[in-house]
């Protein structure tokens, strides 16, 4: 299958310039570029991209609307299935989802579905007028005769669940332990990939405008328990979307030295507490040389943040370049910006100086053996290949696991050996309690968490109606 027009390239900040600032890397399409790119879509009779999108956005329809310059119409089509289009258009792993299934990609370049989705969301947001009936709608949505549903966590799973429940007419309250809502969208993914004020806050603002209440600084399991929400506070059901926010560590000698951080802490300082901005009261350690251990999105985000803070950064990853689990676009951007990679390398010890600060990491070279349970080839150490990398800081980005606070304070809530809440069609073992997102699947993606939140909203509606 061929198309006469090449994929329209997207404009980006120059790599040398952007390596020194936190502004968004990608500028996105303008209307002319979006319309041209949309004209490449073949409007397949059986669109494989729709099936490959975890929330089944009607992709050919919205793209046809873009091609016809009906951008508001395109937004209406997307909004039927997604409440966070500006975010998903920016951070979804499109290359393995919708775009990965686009028929044009078989012999050439797939349609830039994510960039088009982002354009439509940004365009319609920029045209939006302030809603004068905001307060009325908010009061209506929380009025006494509405059935109350609680959502724990304001990441993509919780936000998507709340959006659908509010649209069904429920009075929804989100309880969030941090002082700012958004989950990983706010504290994890950096400003240069996902601007907070212009994108995340505006997307969440749309939900608040619908009347969804967000109570921050409420740690469910401590401030209030799920039993109290159900039995005393009058909520008919609870959705748990508390994510998988506990960092994992290397488990090697020297990991407690000064200058070793979890990527989670490092990124939270930078993104949530704005430590990178002049005048911020939150400090961030800026080593001359920084090693980031890991190869996923979190590792790329930590590495690119450290680079922008002024460090020379090396990513240390135990498998090869082909096996890097981060999004292709992020790896490409990291390499363009001058981040160095030590592939097939595994740290075995963190070495400190006489004052207890990191001075180097001891590593061993690896080779890939037979596939392991994940299907990827298992990295195995090469005997006698040990060497040291000098560094002032180590950022550990090996993935995250589930905090068991909610499970341990909710009698009857079943979890598996990794602490994930066990569900059947999003319903947990505790009647009235539903769950979805990373707390059920383990660390995954924004769109999968959103999809689970939407699914749970439908299940909660059935449960409340006794169906």
Which residues would be at the binding site for ligand SF4 (CB under 6 A)? 53, 55, 57, 59, 82, 88-89, 92, 94, 97-98, 113-114, 117, 447
CB of 242 to ligand SF4, least distance (A): 23
Q: In the complex with ligand SF4, which residue's Cβ is closer, 47 or 182?
A: 47
Supply 115's token pair.
């960039």
Q: In the complex with ligand FAD, which residue's Cβ is closer, 393 or 395?
A: 395
CA-wise closest residue to 283 among 291, 292, 275: 275
Which residues neighbour 417 within 8 Å (Cβ) at sequence distance 6 or greater?
none
* Residue 397 contacts residue 299 (beta carbons within 8 Å): yes
Q: Look at residue 327 and give the partner it binds from ligand FAD, ligand SF4, none, a contact being a CB closer than 5 to 8 Å depending on partner kind.
A: ligand FAD
Q: In the complex with ligand FAD, which residue's Cβ is closer, 293 or 366?
A: 293
CB of 61 to ligand FAD, least distance (A): 23
CB of 101 to ligand SF4, least distance (A): 9
CB of 178 to ligand FAD, least distance (A): 5
Q: In the complex with ligand FAD, which residue's Cβ is closer, 75 or 446?
A: 446
Task: Output the CA torsion sign for 286, 292, 295, 299.
Answer: negative
Instruction: List residues bridging with 357 in a β-sheet.
Output: 258
CB of 360 to ligand FAD, least distance (A): 26
CB of 184 to ligand SF4, least distance (A): 16
**Distance (Å, rounded) from C-alpha 464 to C-alpha 467?**
8
SS3 465: coil
Q: Look at residue 117 and give the partner it binds from ligand FAD, ligand SF4, none, a contact being a CB closer than 5 to 8 Å depending on partner kind.
A: ligand SF4
Supply 16's token pair.
């040398």
SS3 171: strand
**Distance (Å, rounded) from C-alpha 293 to C-alpha 433?**
37
Q: In the complex with ligand FAD, which residue's Cβ is closer, 219 or 351?
A: 219
CB of 90 to ligand SF4, least distance (A): 9
**How many Cα atoms within 13 Å fall on the side-chain side of residue 53?**
23
Q: In the complex with ligand FAD, which residue's Cβ is closer, 220 or 364?
A: 220
Instruction: List residues bridging with 26 in a β-sheet.
Output: 12
Q: In the complex with ligand FAD, which residue's Cβ is closer, 76 or 95?
A: 95
63 to each of 101, 112, 339, how far by Cα in Å?
15, 10, 36
Q: Look at residue 207 and give the partner it binds from ligand FAD, ligand SF4, none, a contact being a CB closer than 5 to 8 Å depending on partner kind.
A: none
Q: Look at residue 82 and give the partner it binds from ligand FAD, ligand SF4, none, a contact being a CB closer than 5 to 8 Å depending on partner kind.
A: ligand SF4
* Residue 321 contacts residue 307 (beta carbons within 8 Å): no
CB of 120 to ligand SF4, least distance (A): 10
Phi and psi, residue 326, nearest 5°: -65, 160
CA-wise closest residue to 381 among 390, 368, 394, 370: 368
Q: Look at residue 188 and give the partner it binds from ligand FAD, ligand SF4, none, a contact being a CB closer than 5 to 8 Å depending on partner kind.
A: ligand FAD
Phi and psi, residue 41, nearest 5°: -65, 135
Q: In the complex with ligand FAD, which residue's Cβ is closer, 67 or 230?
A: 230
Q: Look at residue 177 and give the partner it binds from ligand SF4, ligand FAD, none, a contact being a CB closer than 5 to 8 Å depending on partner kind.
A: ligand FAD
**Distance (Å, rounded) from C-alpha 188 to C-alpha 269?**
10
Interface residues with ligand FAD (CB under 6 A)?
91-93, 152-158, 175-178, 183-184, 188-189, 218-221, 241-243, 245, 267, 297-298, 301, 327, 403, 405-406, 437-439, 443-447, 449
Q: Look at residue 157 and give the partner it binds from ligand SF4, ligand FAD, none, a contact being a CB closer than 5 to 8 Å depending on partner kind.
A: ligand FAD
Q: Look at residue 220 and give the partner it binds from ligand SF4, ligand FAD, none, a contact being a CB closer than 5 to 8 Å depending on partner kind.
A: ligand FAD
Q: Which helix (H) or strand (E) element contains residue 134? A: helix 134-141
**Distance (Å, rounded) from C-alpha 182 to C-alpha 446?**
11
Q: Look at residue 171 and give the partner it binds from ligand FAD, ligand SF4, none, a contact being a CB closer than 5 to 8 Å depending on partner kind.
A: none
Q: In the complex with ligand FAD, which residue's Cβ is closer, 238 or 344?
A: 238
CB of 357 to ligand SF4, least distance (A): 42
CB of 326 to ligand FAD, least distance (A): 8
Q: Look at residue 97 and give the partner it binds from ligand SF4, ligand FAD, none, a contact being a CB closer than 5 to 8 Å depending on partner kind.
A: ligand SF4
CA 38 to chain centre: 26
CA-wise closest residue to 456 among 430, 442, 431, 437: 437
Q: In the complex with ligand FAD, which residue's Cβ is closer, 36 or 218?
A: 218
Supply 66's token pair.
């873009």
Nearest 5°: the CA angle 351, 355, 361 is: 15
Q: Could you give the maximum distance between any two Cα atoms of the chain, in Å? A: 72
């Amino acid at each position: 299958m061929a198309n006469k027009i090449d994929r329209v390239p997207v404009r980006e900040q120059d790599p040398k310039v952007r390596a020194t600032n936190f502004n968004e890397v990608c500028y996105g399409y303008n209307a002319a570029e979006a319309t041209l790119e949309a004209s490449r879509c073949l409007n397949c009779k059986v669109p494989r991209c729709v099936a490959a999108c975890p929330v089944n956005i009607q992709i050919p329809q919205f793209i046809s609307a873009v091609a016809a310059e009906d951008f508001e119409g395109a937004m209406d089509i997307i909004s039927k299935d997604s409440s966070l289009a500006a975010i998903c258009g920016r951070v979804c792993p499109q290359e393995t989802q919708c775009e990965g299934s686009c028929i044009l990609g078989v012999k050439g370049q797939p349609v830039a579905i994510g960039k088009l989705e982002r354009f439509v969301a940004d365009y319609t947001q920029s045209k939006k007028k302030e809603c004068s009936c905001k307060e009325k709608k908010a009061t209506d949505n929380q009025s006494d005769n509405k059935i109350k549903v609680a959502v724990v966590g304001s990441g993509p799973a919780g936000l998507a669940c709340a959006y659908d429940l509010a649209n069904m007419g429920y009075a929804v309250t989100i309880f969030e332990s941090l002082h700012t809502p958004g989950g990983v969208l706010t504290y994890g993914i950096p400003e240069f990939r996902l601007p907070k004020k212009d994108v995340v806050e505006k997307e969440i603002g749309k939900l608040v405008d619908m009347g969804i209440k967000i109570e921050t600084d409420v740690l469910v399991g401590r401030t209030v328990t799920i039993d109290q929400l159900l039995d005393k506070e009058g909520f008919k059901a609870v959705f748990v979307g508390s994510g998988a926010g506990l960092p994992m560590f290397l488990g090697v000698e020297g990991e407690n030295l000064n200058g070793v951080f979890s990527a989670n802490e490092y990124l939270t300082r930078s993104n949530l507490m704005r430590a990178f901005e002049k005048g911020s009261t939150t400090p961030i350690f800026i080593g001359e040389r920084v090693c980031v251990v890991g190869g996923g999105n979190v590792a790329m985000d930590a590495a690119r943040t450290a680079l922008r803070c002024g460090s020379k950064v090396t990513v240390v990853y135990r498998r090869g370049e082909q096996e890097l689990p981060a999004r292709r676009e992020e790896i490409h951007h990291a390499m363009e910006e001058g981040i160095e990679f030590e592939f097939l390398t595994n740290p075995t010890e963190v070495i400190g100086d006489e004052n207890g600060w990191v001075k180097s990491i001891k590593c061993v070279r690896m080779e890939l053996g037979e596939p392991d349970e994940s299907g990827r080839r298992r990295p195995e150490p090469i005997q006698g290949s040990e060497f040291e990398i000098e560094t002032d800081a180590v950022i550990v980005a090996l993935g995250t696991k589930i905090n068991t606070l909610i499970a341990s304070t909710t009698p009857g809530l079943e979890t598996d050996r990794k602490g994930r809440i066990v569900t059947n069609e999003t319903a947990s073992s505790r009647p009235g309690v539903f769950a979805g997102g990373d707390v059920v699947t383990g660390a995954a993606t924004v769109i999968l968490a959103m999809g689970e939140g939407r699914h749970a909203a439908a299940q909660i509606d059935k449960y409340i109606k006794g169906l």
